[in-house]
């Protein structure tokens, strides 16, 4: 210990400062390593290399592919629902099937696609590489985390094959209807859903502990917290949120399982179900809603924060410019994360909870708009006087800004308690959350995949296919969700199997439904292009040079690309700066990698980081 302190005193002047004034190798010194180098598990067989892998990079890819596969099912379900909504005359679906598809679509997209892909996929791939570690802190637990996720997905899929089919309770699973007759899958599918969520939470906790501890403990020498890429800040904060939020979901699921199987009454009051008096008594359905949204709202940010982080990095790299207001960006991420635990009941303004809560939750909800707005300003100020390359990741980032802006602003409608009253439970809500936590993060995911694909495969994805994919996805999804808000104004309620010719809805609204459905089919089909590009480019793609985007962060500075097992060869990297030194005046190149020592860039006027 004493050794360390001594060293810190010494090192004070060594932190990269005014590089031009000093020119001794002294300026290149970084703090000593606090922990010995990690000992890694080395696989010996095909099984332990490719299936039960303990290498975070493989686990990340496994997570991502499983999540994308599950997400494709969610996509197909959305097609089936939209066809029913646009062409009710076809007799395409039964109401039970419609509600089952709505439920599975929602749960798959939010939990099994987005959460798993951002944290399990990008988290595993990027945390060790960007922090300059050899692997996660606990590789074995990391492997278990992935396989728990696989089992959770299998249990979820199994619910399609039980009598009564999957649950049709809506993704919010509100009791009492989730476990009473009158809802599809009320005694079979729902139990599998709850078990699957419990498994997911268990698996995620194993992964999450890994992400947190790796970021806190295994950073390379010189990698201070305020030199971390915003991607890592986003993933890290989201994981902390998940650690606090998922337990609420877990207990909610456990309690509902008990209500259903053992006849306890946590959430179940005395009731008459379809003419039959049930034996429950005294439980509170609103209690479940509190538990669910105490998880559910932070969940929005569990998806959004990694997207915020990643898009910040993409914008900075591809506009060759320092991210604007880094410190503010970090505090905004942390602030949003903290505030996200005080806004949950804005999902419950008209739930029947004490209406006086509305004042508190409307205020907290609108406060959270401020750090969120700061992030948007800083993204666009990063573009200002940049040198903007319209590469695929940049295109998707721009698409994200427009989509997220739109979805974020409609959040100000729904968060403001009075405005929410006429709009809640209408298509305005559906449009809002698809824009803000569906399309916006997915655009970031696409941008991120195009950006980091060479890091994984050593090849570039096809640019032309990527551009077609971008334009159809971006414009198409805007065409789906922008008009949908206006259906909400008309008053079209969500979760309706069929609207009928209601007297207050004129026929043009039904026509709009057809337009939206056609757009959904096209946008969905465009994702096949992406999948083709994703798999074909691994073989056919143009070979990538090392660090193809000329980025500064550590993942591109590994001795081999794609990085090998252990990432860094013999010696761990040393970090001298933050990852945003782009276009520094006086520097030869327009980028300075994080591990480039100050003695090699004499003359560059870098600001101290």
Partner 1 sequence: MIVALSIFLITIGSIAFHFWSPWWWTEVASNWGNMDDTIILTFWITGAVFVAICFFVSYCVWKFSYKKERRAEYKPEDKKLESRLTWATAIGVAALLAPGLVVWNQYVTVPKDAYKVEVFAYQWGWKYRLPGEDNVLGKTDIKYISDENPFGLIIEDPNGKDDLLVDAQELHVLKDRPVKFELRTIDVLHNFYVPQFRGKMDMVPGIVTYYWLTPTRVGDFEVLCAEYCGTGHYAMRGRVIVDEEKDYKKWEAKQITFEKMLAKNRKNDNLQLVKKDK
User: Least distance (Å) from partner 1 to the CB of residue 414?
Assistant: 10
Nearer to partner 1, 59 or 268 (CB): 268
Euclidean distance between CA atoms 405 and 377, whole angstroms:
10
User: Least distance (Å) from partner 1 to the CB of residue 49?
Assistant: 41
User: Least distance (Å) from partner 1 to the CB of residue 500?
Assistant: 8
Euclidean distance between CA atoms 542 and 545, whole angstroms:
9
Is the preceding omega at residue 376 within 30 degrees of 0, hence cis? no
C-alpha triplet 530, 111, 74: angle, nearest 5°:
45
From residue 592, how far is each of 225, 311, 317, 552 by CA, in Å?
19, 20, 11, 6
Nearer to partner 1, 293 or 580 (CB): 580
Nearer to partner 1, 24 or 508 (CB): 508
Nearer to partner 1, 28 or 425 (CB): 425
**DSSP per-residue letters across 157-198:** HHGGGSTT-S--STTTT-TTGGGSTTSTTTTTHHHHHHHHHH
Euclidean distance between CA atoms 511 and 128, whole angstroms:
50
> Is residue 263 classed exposed, middle or buried when 0-12, 13-18 and 19+ CB atoms within 10 A define those classes?
exposed
User: Least distance (Å) from partner 1 to the CB of residue 29?
Assistant: 24
Euclidean distance between CA atoms 609 and 592, whole angstroms:
13
Euclidean distance between CA atoms 383 and 322, whole angstroms:
9
User: Least distance (Å) from partner 1 to the CB of residue 401?
Assistant: 6
User: Least distance (Å) from partner 1 to the CB of residue 313?
Assistant: 15
C-beta of residue 362 within 8 angstroms of C-beta of residue 416: yes
Nearer to partner 1, 250 or 587 (CB): 587
Euclidean distance between CA atoms 551 and 591, whole angstroms:
7
Nearer to partner 1, 258 or 409 (CB): 409
Euclidean distance between CA atoms 580 and 230, whole angstroms:
10
Euclidean distance between CA atoms 127 and 219, whole angstroms:
9
Nearer to partner 1, 247 or 483 (CB): 483
Nearer to partner 1, 163 or 585 (CB): 585
**DSSP per-residue letters across 246-280:** HHHHHHHHHHHHHHHHT---SS--S-EETTEE-S-
User: Least distance (Å) from partner 1 to the CB of residue 581?
Assistant: 8
User: Least distance (Å) from partner 1 to the CB of residue 575?
Assistant: 17
């Amino acid at each position: 210990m004493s050794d360390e302190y001594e060293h810190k005193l010494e090192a004070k002047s060594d932190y990269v400062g005014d590089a031009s004034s000093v020119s001794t190798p002294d300026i290149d010194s970084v703090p000593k390593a606090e922990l010995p180098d990690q000992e890694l598990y080395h696989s010996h067989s095909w099984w332990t290399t490719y299936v039960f892998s303990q290498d975070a990079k493989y686990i990340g890819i496994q997570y991502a592919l499983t999540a994308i596969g599950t997400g494709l099912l969610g996509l197909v379900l959305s097609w089936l629902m939209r066809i029913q909504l646009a062409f009710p005359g076809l007799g395409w679906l039964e109401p039970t099937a419609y509600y089952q598809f709505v439920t599975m679509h929602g749960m798959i997209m939010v939990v099994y696609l987005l959460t798993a892909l951002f944290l399990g996929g990008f988290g595993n791939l990027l945390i060790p590489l960007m922090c300059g570690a050899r692997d996660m802190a606990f590789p074995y637990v990391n492997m278990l985390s992935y396989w728990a996720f696989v089992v959770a997905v299998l249990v979820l899929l199994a619910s399609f094959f039980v009598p009564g089919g999957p649950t049709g309770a809506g993704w919010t699973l509100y009791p009492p209807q989730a476990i009473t007759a009158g809802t599809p899958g009320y005694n079979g599918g729902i139990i599998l859903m709850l078990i699957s969520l419990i498994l997911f939470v268990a698996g995620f906790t194993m992964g999450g502990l890994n992400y947190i501890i790796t970021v806190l403990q295994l950073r390379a020498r010189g990698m201070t917290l305020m030199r971390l890429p915003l991607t890592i800040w986003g993933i890290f904060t989201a994981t902390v949120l998940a650690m606090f939020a998922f337990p609420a979901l877990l207990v909610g699921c456990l309690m509902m399982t008990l209500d259903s199987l053992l006849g306890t009454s946590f959430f179940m009051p005395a009731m008459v179900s379809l003419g039959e008096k049930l034996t429950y008594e005294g439980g509170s359905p609103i209690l479940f809603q509190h538990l669910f949204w105490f998880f559910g709202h932070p969940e929005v940010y569990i998806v959004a924060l990694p997207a915020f982080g990643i898009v910040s990095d993409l914008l900075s790299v591809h506009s060759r410019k320092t991210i604007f207001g880094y410190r503010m960006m970090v505090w905004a991420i942390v602030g949003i994360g903290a505030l996200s635990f005080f806004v949950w009941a804005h999902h419950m303004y008209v739930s029947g909870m004490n209406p006086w809560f509305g004042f508190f939750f409307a205020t907290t909800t609108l406060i959270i708009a401020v750090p969120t707005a700061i992030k948007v300003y800083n993204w666009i100020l990063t573009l200002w006087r940049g040198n903007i390359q319209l590469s695929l990741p940049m295109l998707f980032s721009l698409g994200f800004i427009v989509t997220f802006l739109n979805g974020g602003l409609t959040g100000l409608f729904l968060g403001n308690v009075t405005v929410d009253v006429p709009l809640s439970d209408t298509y305005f809500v559906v449009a809002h959350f698809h824009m803000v936590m569906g399309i916006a993060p997915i655009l970031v995911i696409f941008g991120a995949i195009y950006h980091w694909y060479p890091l994984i495969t050593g090849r570039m994805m096809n640019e032309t296919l990527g551009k077609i994919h971008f334009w159809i996805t971006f414009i198409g999804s805007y065409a789906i969700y922008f008009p949908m808000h206006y259906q909400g104004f008309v008053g079209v309620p969500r979760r309706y199997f069929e609207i009928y010719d209601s007297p207050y809805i004129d026929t043009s609204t039904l026509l709009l439904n057809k337009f939206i459905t056609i757009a959904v089919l096209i946008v969905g089909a465009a994702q096949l292009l992406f999948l083709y590009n994703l798999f074909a480019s691994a073989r056919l793609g143009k070979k990538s040079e090392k660090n193809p985007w000329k980025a500064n962060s550590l993942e591109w500075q590994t001795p081999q690309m794609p990085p090998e097992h252990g990432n860094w060869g013999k010696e761990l990297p040393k970090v001298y700066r933050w990852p945003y030194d782009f276009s520094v005046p006086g520097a030869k190149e327009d980028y300075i990698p994080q591990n480039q020592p100050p003695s090699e860039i004499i003359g560059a006027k870098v600001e101290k980081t």
